[in-house]
Structure 1
Amino acid sequence: MGDNSEVENMALASGDTTEIKPSEEELLVDAKISHVTPEHQPNGPVAGDSTDGGQVTLKKEVGLFNGVTVIVGSIIGSGIFISPKGVLESSAGSVGMSLLVWTISGLFSLVGALCYAELGTTIQLSGGEYSYIYEAFGELPAFVLLWVTLIIINPTGQAVVALTFSYYVVQPFYPDPDCPPPDEFIRIAAVLCLTLLTFINCWSVPLATKVQDVFTVAKVSALIIIIIAGFAYMAQGNTENFENSFENKIGEDGSIALAFYSGLFAYAGWNYLNYLTEEIKESDQNLPRAIIIAMPLVTIIYVLANVAYFAVLSPNELMLSNAVAVSFAVKVLGPMAWIIPIAVAMSTFGAVNGGILSQSRLFFVGAREGQLPQLMGMIHVKRCTPLPSIFFTCILSCMYVFVSEIDTLINYFSFVTWLAIGFAVCGLIYLRFKKPELKRPFKLNIMFPIAFVLACLFLTVMGVIAAFYDTLIGLAITITAFPVYFLCIKWTDKPLVFLRMITTTSFWFQRLFMVVGQQKID
């Protein structure tokens, strides 16, 4: 660190050293850490880990099996239970085309994950695409991604999964299809889910990890039950739903892109392990291995689950159902049908928990780069959890819960996400030519990232055509990053009264939440 103490640095930033009392010194800790290039890849400090000699350090505790679990547990959430309807509708009711979309979506996600394996082993920093875009294109594009992730991607994804959880919890109490659950009841249940898991993640990282383990087992078990039941039903000669499976055709209104949006939404989460790169043991080996094991496994489970759905439910029955797994269970399991909604609710509950657990690392990296308020990079002094960032994203997620159409949320999520991921993979291509000297333990044929970027471009353009107004909303929110960047980050000569207000407000929240910032790296 420099000659000045951390407290003095904060005071200088506010422009007034006399405002800081001695009793405040233990709380005011600067959270900004300069960006580190791949040539100096650190074991940098990340909150929530153990300390060593007074420094908050990052421990490499994620092994190969843990990496596979992170990917599988993050992917399998609500998508496989809600997206079959969206994929089939956008596929014009074609069973064969729907299964093809699920298969291609899995392969497409595998290619993207392999591109991220190269990025993660080349730029061995946590934060996923944020760190990759920062390294390749600089701080402005990275901030745009950080901004839209903070206010769109993360909270909308959490809201979608929480709404699915609440629907599966509430629906068994309303078995009559003519009397659906009250919309307000579903949304209140989703808010309760988000707030409960926010409390758990704020209270204890080990507790949040245990919750993730339990609910990952539950979601895999639910899919295994569905697959076994579906194939047993099909073995009895019930194969009529697969006859003439490609007889319907896709229209020319861009619906095929929406079909892939719904399918790819079910695979969302394949990049979550990259948010934890600095915590992976032998990351240059275990990151690619975890991806190569996890992605084909999830694809096989997903395709087999959809075959089971179509074996039991006709295309019309599936499209009329708002809870495909429940409709499946009622028809196949009879009096034991209650198992499926409970298992699905546990699955989606765990998916929300996994999102909270992993995405908080991204916001820590953003605070480490000085692109988020210092408060967002602070941790609880006793619990060692990122309480402010978790609390803030919970509030945003609860707000998105009250957006009327869940499909609209999925469209917002897909447009912004694939645009950002495609841009990150563009960084891979750029770095191949700009910095060929970088060590690349895992290296793909250049045609794979090029094809992936072109596919992302196709999805984005077709998504704009098919859901123009939804895309405009997402684009409008994205553009707000530019004035925020120039006003809050680039503009350094701010009025003294404003700096004092920020310092006072931050200190007040520090005392309220009992949090401190990360320490600087020398």
Structure 2
Amino acid sequence: MQVAAKDGRTNPGFEDVDLGTGSSSFDHTQNGPLGNTNPGNQTEPTEVSNSDDNSSNGAAVAGTAEKSPRGAVIVRLDRSISLPHLVAILFAVSGGLSIFISPGPILQYSGSVGLSLIVWFSGGIVNLLSALCYTELGIRFPEAGGSYSYVLQTFGSMAGFVTLWGYIILLVCPAWALLAYVSAVYIVQPFFSGCALPLVGVRLLAGAIFLLCAVLNCINVKYISKIQIWFSGAKATAIVLIIVGGIYEMALGNTENFSQPFEGSSTKPGEIALAMLSSYFAYGGWQVIVNMMEESKHPERDLPRSVYISFTLIITLYCLTNMAYFSILSHTEITSTDAVGVLFISRLYSPLTTVISVLVAISSAGSLVAVVMGHSRLLFAAGRVGHMPSFVGMVHQKYRTPSPSIIILSFLTLVMLFTGQALVLMEYISLFSALMSVELQIILLYLRWKRTNETPSFQVPVIIAVLLLLFHLAVLVLSVYQKPRQLGIALAIIVSGIPVYWLAVSWKQKPTSFTNFIDTLTRIVRCTLDVKKTE
């Protein structure tokens, strides 16, 4: 998107953003202090009159392409995500692989079988209620960007940019690299039983897996949504395999761990709180779903239903899986390993160990595909409102995917993966998630207070929103208690986004050499990737 500078030049790079509302000259959310949330009333964008926009390539766009009043073709993200796809995505990303690796810390802090199962169930309910709060925000703002967009439209331009900055460095890229790495580890592990894994080989395989997932996300959202069902099926198959094995062992009489389920339960509030903290994060990852509301066919109807359906499945299956673990494994065995699922299968029937490893690897890849789809919409949304160069907010004319934003984030992820920084930064994921949870609960309550005249189709009771705010504040305090040094570093990284904002967004009179460089880069990206700006 080109913006006329004061000296008459056009600047296709970082747009002129209104510091009060976070809107740029082409932003469609300018009605009121929080923007117009009704996509049906959005104004048509001003089209760039470059020759390539009006060429036959643009005119040949199919699907959701429309014509603006000036006759130029408008390209939008495809509304291709239906209810089954939302459920599959939520099932894949909620908790990721936590059910296969996380029971240890929860059992260690809770102290007993019975209390650990209660903690797992409670953590699922808290995440369900939190997801319903996100659902209300997603229905209020049914557009790409999710949490970033909510902060931008509520607290303004700088707050939105700093949130985006933290998301990319502390959550998005480390999470992508970690999922690719875990998938590679589970693929390689059966071939190196009892031996150290080749680090370079694992990273190369992880890079290949990640690139495949990124390319798939660049090609077609409809295709990704369909194969996501198969990825989720792999995760469900692994879980059901463990549950069936547990039922079989219990039928044989292996119920010793359930004879006195609450024996050894912790009575220390601090340990119980840490168990709840571990359980809360064990279900995390579902937040990504609100980033894709612009591509949901019926967000107001399907988002609440998908949350209820997926969390009912997840909570039930996770609790049953933990019960299955206790049918074979002892307290010590569960707390001393970070691969509980594989250990359980090896004890149940060792020839199935390779099968469960492959299923877990596929599950990790499925989670990776889903988060790449969701997280890339953050950067894409930033490109549309002027927090990134305009080409970042463009989509492929044929496939309707935000390929520039995916490519940029993929490059950063590969750098983190091969330098080892992803494993360092993964310690900050829970801290940043806790910060964002508090911020979004405040946004929800603020909107309830300031926009009393609006009644979205779905609302959570205010008391639930208040209680969740208190809970997330407690989670944040516990996270700080566990990792005080990491919090300081995380805050320093987040605050470092402020000078970047001043230079990239607030500073209007940029040097001619810089604007010419961004102008050339934009033309190269548009021609090379066949992308076009959206509404």
Normalised TM-score (structure 1): 0.86
Unaligned runs of 5+ in 2: 13-23, 46-60, 68-72
1:55 is matched with 74
- Specify the SS of the correspondent of 1:187: helix
Contact 2:107 2:113 in 1 (8 A): yes
**Equivalent position of 1:270 in the other structure:** 286
Q: How big is the shift at 1:195?
A: 1.6
- Aligned partners of 1:18 and 1:283: how far apart in 2? 35
Matches within 5 A, 1:236-315: 236-248=252-264, 259-315=275-331
Note if contact 2:102-2:338 (Cα within 8 Å) is conserved in structure 1.
no
Mapped to 1, the partners of 2:471 and 2:124 lie a distance apart of 14
User: Which of 113, 134, 157 matches 1:95?
Assistant: 113
Question: CA contact under 8 A between 1:35 and 1:369: conserved in structure 2?
Answer: no
* Cα 1:203–1:445 shift into 2, 3 Å: closer
Q: Deviations over 1:305-329 (max 9, x none)?
A: 1111222211221233232211111
Give the match for residue 208 of structure 1: 224
Give the length in aligned residue pairs: 499
Q: Distance in 1 between matches of 2:277 and 2:418?
A: 22
Residue 429 of structure 2 corresponds to residue 432 of structure 1: no
Superposed CA offset, 1:345-397 (max 9, x none): 11111110111112222222221111122232123445443222112222222
Quote the residue 1:33 is aligned against. Answer: 27
SS in 2 for 1:337: helix
Summarize the Cα distance change of 1:398–1:259 in structure 2 as closer, same or farther, 3 Å threshold: farther
- Aligned partners of 2:107, 2:378: CA distance in 1, in Å? 34
Structure 1, 325-334 or 247-256: larger mean CA deviation: 247-256
Of 387, 398, 401, which aligns to 1:371?
Answer: 387
Distance 2:277 2:407 in 1: 29
Q: What residue identity is the alignment partner of 1:157? A: A
Amino acid at match of 1:57: R
User: Is the counterpart of residue 108 in structure 1 residue 126 in structure 2?
Assistant: yes
Structure 1 position 75 matched with structure 2 position 94: yes
Could you tell me how far apart the structure 2 residues matched to 1:421 and 1:49 are?
Answer: 36
Q: 1:174 is matched with which residue?
A: 192
Question: What's the counterpart of residue 134 of structure 1?
Answer: 152
Offset at 1:64?
3.0
Specify the alignment match of 2:16 in structure 1: none
Partner AA of 2:76 in structure 1: T
The corresponding residue for 2:21 is none
Describe the SS at the equivalent of 2:102.
helix
Looking at structure 2, the residues matched to 472 and 249 of structure 1 have their Cα atoms a distance apart, in angstroms, of: 34
Asked whether the equivalents of residues 106 and 278 of structure 2 are also in contact (C-alpha less than 8 Å), the reply is yes
2:53 paired residue number: none
Whether the aligned pair in 1 keeps the contact of 2:28 and 2:36 (CA below 8 Å) is no
Q: Is the 8 A contact 2:119 2:279 kept in 1?
A: yes
SS at match of 1:271: helix
Taking the aligned partners of 1:260 and 1:421, their CA distance within structure 2 comes to 16
Correspondent of 2:215 among 199, 202, 208? 199
1:514 corresponds to 2:529 = yes
Amino acid at match of 1:276: M
- C-alpha displacement of 1:249: 5.7
Matched AA of 2:369: N
Q: Give the whole-Å Cα distance in 1 for the aligned partners of 2:5 and 2:11.
A: 10
**Partner Cα separation in structure 2 for residue 455 and residue 209 of structure 1:** 33
- Decide which of 163, 176, 179 is 1:145's aligned counterpart: 163
What letter corresponds to residue 165 of structure 1 in structure 2? S
- 8 Å Cα contact 1:31-1:377 kept in structure 2: no
Amino acid at match of 2:431: F
- TM normalised by structure 2 equals 0.84
Indicate if the aligned counterparts of 2:75 and 2:400 stay in contact, CA closer than 8 A.
Answer: no
